[in-house]
Amino acid sequence: MFSRAKYVVKVHKKGLIVLPAELRRKHGIKEGSEVVLIDNKDYLIMVPRRSITELYGSAKEYGNIIDEMIREIHEERKREAGS
């Protein structure tokens, strides 16, 4: 099992919250970064949004191939939707 740190933040006007600096650094969240909020009935999950290139990880050298595969799938779905 993993340990979880607990942070309490206050909700300000217009629903704004301030993420503790430690969490921003740890998760690479900077001004302008996007996060995804997932409503899981009894609680919220917040996940930093990552670009597809950030997700390549060790497959970075295959980025062009992956991009081409994504384009092909996208085009195939567009054709299927049009028929």
Per-residue pLDDT at 80? 87
| C-alpha triplet 43, 46, 48: angle, nearest 5° | 170
CA distances from 18 to 11, 36, 50, 51 (A): 8, 15, 20, 23
Q: What is the pLDDT along the chain (83 residues), one digit of tens a residue?
A: 556 788 999 999 999 999 999 999 998 899 999 899 999 889 888 988 877 666 666 666 777 777 788 888 888 888 888 86
Residue 21, SS3?
helix
Question: Cβ atoms within 10 A of the Cβ of 67, count?
Answer: 13
Per-residue pLDDT at 5? 82
Per-residue pLDDT at 64? 76
Question: Cβ atoms within 10 A of the Cβ of 66, count?
Answer: 15
Per-residue pLDDT at 24? 94
Per-residue pLDDT at 58? 60
